[in-house]
Structure formats: structure tokens, C-alpha cells
Amino acid sequence: MNWSAIAAIYRFEMARFFRTLAQSFLSPVLSTSLYFVVFGTAIGSRIQEIEGVSYGAFIVPGLILLSVVMLSISNASFGIYFPKFLGTIYELLSAPVNFIEIVIGYVGAAATKALFVGLVILATATFFVDIRIEHPFAMAAFLILSCLSFSLLGFIVGIWAGNFEQMSLVPQLVVTPLIFLGGTFYSISMLPPLWQTITLFNPVVYLISGFRWSFYGIADVPIFWSLLAILAFTGICLAIIGWIFKTGWRIRS
């Protein structure tokens, strides 16, 4: 294992993050505050409580995941797409590194950045609502797994993308709708029966449900299914990345 290469990639990617620290820090704080003002105050005053949890507190896990998922994808896809775009990928391809080391470096850095922002949002939320975390270990596990798995997805998007437009295609056209329709701002028990069934085909439902369970002990689907879903998703992403490096798809001629 070329640990020094992993460290070099990780450090290089984190440097990008620290160069724009204010932006990395301020933008999630601002957007979370806006969500609380709009959803928490305007809508929350009409909904009040869901299964014993105030609406403001109820949406916190979903809000964290919303940002974490989007940032994981954009960080990781940008991280690997940028070298392709600039041509600096020649160095990675000619270095004594294997694909596992490259993935650990890029995905590790992308996940770290997303995790940091997730924690910033959690801290910001405590200024607006009372938050309790009933299962802190489960909460940490879901958060870290979400950062990792969606960073893996982002890595795949970055390898696949041929231009900047395609980079934003997956997050905007696929992930955003799945997250908004996945119970970020509501419990799926509030939907009509038909939509409750349809919603169960949305993988994000399992993620948000499990994450919310680690906070308040309430879930839309059994916690076991949530865990299985996130592990399966991580496994699928890993398998695709393994195939990409084996075949050199879109990176090696």
C-alpha cells in the first residue's frame, strides 16, 4: 500500500477546501438558517409536532443529509473531474498507485469535507431548535456512511462526466428530487397510502429514516432496512468503481 500517495492526494484535496474555508463554512450555515426560517417557522407553525417531535427539530436530520449528500457528490466528482479537465490526471496514471489508493485519497477527502459541513449544520441547528441524539453511535455511523457512499457516487459521476454540465446533471436531476421526496421535510406516514408505497422505492427514504431514528427514535421504515440500504448502496458504488479501474473506462485509453 502506497500510504504516502494516499496522504498526498488527501492533503492536496483538503488544501482546496481550506483555500475556500470561509465559503465552505458560511454557505451551509446560511442555507441551513434559511431552511429553518422558511420551513421551520412558516410551515412549522402550521404543522407543530410529528410523532412527539417539534417540526423544526424533525427536519434537522433531513437537512443535514440534504447538504451532506449534495456536498459529497460535488466534492468527489469535482476532485476527480478537475484533473481530467486540466490534464493533470497524467500524473495519477503514471504514478506507482493502484485504484484503491486513488479512491481512498479522493473519496476520503470528499467525505471529510462533507462530514465537516454536516457537523457545522448540526451545530447551527442547535441555535434554532432543541435537538436530542438518542443513539449517538448510530448517528455517527449513518452520517459517516452517507458521506462515504455518496462521495463514492460522486467519484463515479466525476469519472463519467465529459463536461461541467454533466457533472451537475446527477445531483440536480436525480439526487435532489430523491431527497426532497424522501421524507426530508415530512414523515411518509403523512402521505396517502398509494404514495406511501411508491415512496418505498426511493432509496433515500431508508437513509433519512434511519438517520432520524438515531436522533429521536422514530422511523418510517425499520432501522435494519435502513442499515442494509446504505451498506448495499456503498457496495454497489464500490463495485462500479472497481470495474471502472479494471477496464480504464473514461480514464485510460
Partner 1 sequence: MSTILSIRDLRKSYADGFEALKGVSLDIEEGEILALLGPNGAGKTTLISTVCGITTPTSGSVTVGGYDIQADYRAARKMIGLVPQEIALEPFEKVWNTVRFSRGLFGHGSDNARIEEILRKLSLWDKRRNAIKELSGGMKRRVLIAKALAHEPRVLFLDEPTAGVDVELRKDMWEIVAELKQAGVTIILTTHYIEEAEAIADRVGVIDKGELLLVQDKNTLMAQMGKKQIEVMLTEPVATIPDSLSEHNLALNGARDALIYTYDTNAERTGITTLLNDVAQAGLVLRDVQTRQSSLEEIFVNLVSGEPA
Q: Which residues of this protein are in contact with partner 1, per CB under 8 A?
A: 2, 4-5, 7-9, 11-12, 15-16, 19, 82-83, 86-88, 90-97, 248, 252-253
- Smallest separation, CB 11 to partner 1 (Å): 7
3-state DSSP call for residue 248?
Answer: coil
- Smallest separation, CB 89 to partner 1 (Å): 8
- Smallest separation, CB 77 to partner 1 (Å): 16
- Smallest separation, CB 147 to partner 1 (Å): 23
Cell of 4: 504516502
Q: CA 147 to CA 141: how far, in whole Å? A: 10
Q: CA 23 to CA 135: how far, in whole Å? A: 31
Report the residue number, 3 or 137, with the smaller CB distance to partner 1.
Answer: 3
Q: CA 18 to CA 249: how far, in whole Å? A: 31
Report the residue number, 95 or 191, with the smaller CB distance to partner 1.
Answer: 95
Q: CA 35 to CA 39: how far, in whole Å? A: 5
Beta strands 53-54 and 49-50 are antiparallel
